[in-house]
A and B are shown apart, each in its own frame.
Chain A
Amino acid sequence: MWLFTRFTSQPGRWRRLGAPVRAGALLLCTLAFLAAVPSQHQHHHHQQQHPMGSGEHYSRVRTSYRVPDVTLVDRTGATVSLRKLLEVDEPVLLQFIFTTCTTICPAMSATFAAARQELAGDRVRMISITIDPHHDTPERLQDYASRYGAGPGWFFLTGELDDIQTVQKAFDAFWVNKMQHQPRTYLRRSSGEPWLRLSGLLSSAQLVAEQEHQEHQAE
């Protein structure tokens, strides 16, 4: 599996291999992997994280990201500076989504919507950034937002492809194929503080607890 792990962690390199080599490598890895199937007891994950895609398990990483100076477009069609939007003293919750995403984005957005109701008394800013800007026009984002009853404190952003990808890369959330996009939620208590990155799908109670926990953490 080493080959697989190594190359998947370096998507650029993986791509540069060219399709036939890639297919061959995948095939080799797959065969190696299948050969290992019967010995399924030894689950060892390289990273210290719980399996994702399960409501009970998600991983937490605290890091800092340099927010790029880009101008994006919100669901009303107005331009917004991402830095300005994030320069607030209130907590920010941020996710990457796209409107035609089937499995995980509806779940991520529904969790945002549910948590938002829970957090109604608090001032929090929610931001959903599309990773499919060529399809997700402001109108489509508006339509998507209304499906989740998104109010004024929940921003939906699109923009130029290059700018969006810059943001994705800055948050370590870039995938060559958007369909490989993984569920991540970023929390930040206030401007200038590090981010808490949650990987995996959460329940509303878990998201609220994470948010409140970091809110009440001592300086």
Chain B
Amino acid sequence: MNGVRGRPSRRWVGRWVAGLTLHLLALGAVSLSAVAGQPPADPEIGQRIYRQGILPSGEVVRATIQGDVEVRGSQFHCASCHRRSGFGSSEGGVYVPPVTAPRLFADRLLDRAELFREFYQEVQPPSFRARVRDPRVRPAYGDASLAVALRQGRDPTGRELDPLMPRYRLSDEEMAHLVAYLKTLGAEPDPGVDEGAIHFATVVTPGVDPAELGALRAVLDGYLRRKNNDTRGQLAHPNHSPWHRDDFLRGYREWKLEIWQLEGPSDSWSEQLDTLYRQRPVFALLAGLGVGDWGEIHRFCERRELPCLFPNTDLPVVTSPPGDYSLYLSKGLSGEAEALAHYLQTNRTLRLLQVYRDSEASSRPAGVLRAALQGGATELVERKVEGELDAAFWRDLIAEVKPTDLVLWLGESEFEALSLLPQSSAGPRRIYLSFALLGEVPRGLPPELSSKVFLTYPFALPGREIPRRYRVRAWLRSRRIEPTHPRVQLNAYFALSITDHALLHMLENFSRDLFVESVEHEAENALNPGVFPHLSLGPGQRFASKGCYIVKLSPQSAGGIEAVSGWIVP
């Protein structure tokens, strides 16, 4: 039950059932605590202890690990080891068991499926295997034995728990809140999965080029067709072993994916998404194509606790705290601006003129650059512009400001007029542009101008070998998918293949939190199809690619550019 998380998806039935269950739980707690003269146990307070280590008093919980190391709950809250999902982890060969309600409040027997999941996670060191070999059979926990485990580190059989499991100092009241939360944790599978199928959607905003959407669809369709064929094949021949059918195949589902095409202004998207979601609850949003701010979709996902994996957007939400469910390929234009600021500072830029427009795609990176340069040695002059920018406009502006360098958060057509200016040596030294905003490397500029143009370039450099790129491209070819929009297509392939890997590791535990945790874990496992030089995540990390190059135009080089910086990670 999900009284704490309360997905609006089940607003009518779900809320009611959840509410009722909560009441029943609360009633149970009241009757118990009435005896002890305590306020009722509140799973929401318990959730704060579990996820943040914050007690009802506002203090952080304290504990001892490794026998003699005093720690505070800000680093040692339950979620840091057992994870938000409650399914535990296996980082560094240290096995942290699941603490979801179905696991804690049931006898632990020798469950092959569970061992299988734990073992299958990844290549594990010998000690880990030793651990999983030892199934530690124990009876179900009750409120009292759970308190003993959390305070004294003994399980119901009297076995001493690993010293890494903190021995917590919790009052009876705090313990009651925490236990009330543990009773709700993972007690019910998440929406979007039924007996036969797992459902996904891909969100597309208005304004997307139909050809780009077609190219994306071809990859999505091709991937799902192959995936579902494979699944059918596996289901038809589960002949490997007696438990193969029961344990491993339990996790197989047919993949179904809908395109959610949004319409109209962005302030109406949230409602459209709710309607679509009510019609077809999905387990996660995969890939996606966005023109403009992705914020509305981000907020929808956070509100629904719905994982949203790697949409193609230049404008993800980058403000902190980051979302729990929105995972991005990169910080988009904000990341470019941060890297540029870093580069300008190391390059001792004196007087910088920044030109931008009112649109989000232009004003947001301008704002990021402004903030990043504040207090530094670079003097920043800015112009927010409207309407057409002709040669006269540029001539007057440059004469007035006399910048040493120029940053233009503009598209190609808006910057073209610069090339009409007489190229005098008194003009700016360098002109910085965003590759993402331009869409492509500008070609055919007069040489004098061309030699001054530098781009922020947040992708892998052309001609760099990324091993998996060839495999993925070969896959596209074999499906007769034209790589007309390689970035969008390869990114979609990444979102799908990482989903595939994550689900495989989850077996039949369809928890969205576990899904996000598995994706965080898988991102570094050589799945990068080559749009970005490196992709990696970690617990809580939300941007898989973290840097950007600064390049100059170089017609004789591969792709017409040449890096003038390393991979800047601001």
Contact = CB atoms under 8 A, between A and B. Distances in A.
Interface of A: 4-5, 7-8, 11, 14-15, 23, 26-27, 30-31, 33-34, 37, 40, 43, 45-47, 49, 51-56, 98, 100-104, 106-107, 110-111, 114, 132-135, 137, 147, 160-161, 176-183, 201-205
Interface stretch (B260-268, B361-369, B480-488, B533-541): B533-541
B127 A135 contact: no
Interface string B273-307: 00000000000000000000000000000000000
Contact of A45 (B76, B126, B536, B540): B126
Contact of A104 (B91, B240, B570): B91
Interface string B161-173: 0111000000000
B532 to A, nearest CB: 11
A132 B122 CA distance: 19
B470 interface: no
Given A40-B134, A201-B66, A205-B68, A52 B93 contact: yes
Contacts of A34: 112, 115-116, 119, 243
A203 B534 CA distance: 36
Contact of B164 (A135, A180, A201): A201
B69 interface: yes
A117 to B, nearest CB: 10
A102 to B, nearest CB: 5
Contact of A180 (B75, B96, B110, B123): B123
Nearest to B91: A103
Dominant SS among interface residues on chain B: loop
Contacts of B93: 52-53, 180, 182
Contact of A100 (B115, B244, B538): B538
Interface in B530-555: 534, 536, 538-541, 546-547
A45 B131 CA distance: 12
Given A45-B126, A47-B126, A103-B89, A55 B538 contact: no
A181 B68 contact: no
Contacts of A132: 536, 538
Nearest to B504: A23
Interface in B209-257: 240-241, 243-244
Contacts of A43: 130, 133
A45 B280 CA distance: 51
Contacts of B69: 107, 110-111, 114, 203-204
Contact of A30 (B116, B162, B534, B569): B116
B81 interface: yes
A137 B546 CA distance: 11
A110 B66 CA distance: 10
Please list the 4 inter-chain residue pairs (A to B) with the smallest Cβ-Cβ separation, ordered nearest first.
A55-B163, A53-B94, A100-B538, A104-B92
B280 to A, nearest CB: 31
Contacts of A40: 133-135
A137 B127 CA distance: 32
B95 interface: yes
B119 to A, nearest CB: 5
Contacts of A47: 126
Contacts of A101: 91-92, 538-539
B92 A203 contact: no
A137 B568 CA distance: 11
Contacts of A180: 91-93, 122-123
Interface in B130-176: 130-131, 133-135, 162-164
28 contacts: A23-B504, A27-B120, A30-B119, A30-B120, A34-B243, A37-B112, A40-B134, A43-B130, A51-B127, A53-B94, A53-B127, A54-B164, A55-B162, A100-B538, A103-B164, A104-B92, A106-B75, A110-B69, A110-B71, A133-B569, A134-B547, A147-B75, A177-B524, A178-B536, A181-B91, A183-B92, A183-B94, A202-B66
B473 interface: no
Contacts of A111: 66, 69
A203 B540 contact: no
A52 B131 CA distance: 10
A196 to B, nearest CB: 19
A179 B93 CA distance: 9
Contact of A55 (B66, B74, B92): B66
Contacts of B129: 33
Contacts of A37: 110, 112, 115, 133, 135
A177 B124 CA distance: 12
B65 interface: yes
Contacts of A203: 66-69, 163
Contacts of B94: 52-53, 103-104, 183, 201
B188 interface: no
Contacts of B375: none
A107 B217 CA distance: 46
B83 interface: yes
B197 to A, nearest CB: 23
Contacts of A133: 569
A179 B110 contact: no
B521 interface: yes
Contacts of A31: 240-241, 244
A100 B115 CA distance: 27
B525 interface: yes
Contacts of B133: 37, 40, 43
Contacts of B536: 132, 134-135, 178
A204 B546 CA distance: 35
Nearest to B540: A100
A107 B66 contact: yes
A107 B68 CA distance: 11
A152 B164 CA distance: 28
A106 B126 contact: no
A45 B547 CA distance: 42
Contacts of A204: 66, 68-69
B127 A98 contact: no
A100 B125 contact: no
Interface in B70-111: 70-71, 74-76, 80-81, 83, 89, 91-96, 110
A215 B521 CA distance: 39
Contacts of A147: 74-75
Contacts of B123: 4, 7-8, 11, 14, 26, 180
B130 A102 contact: no
A37 B136 CA distance: 12
Nearest to A46: B126
A134 B115 CA distance: 34
Contacts of A54: 162-164
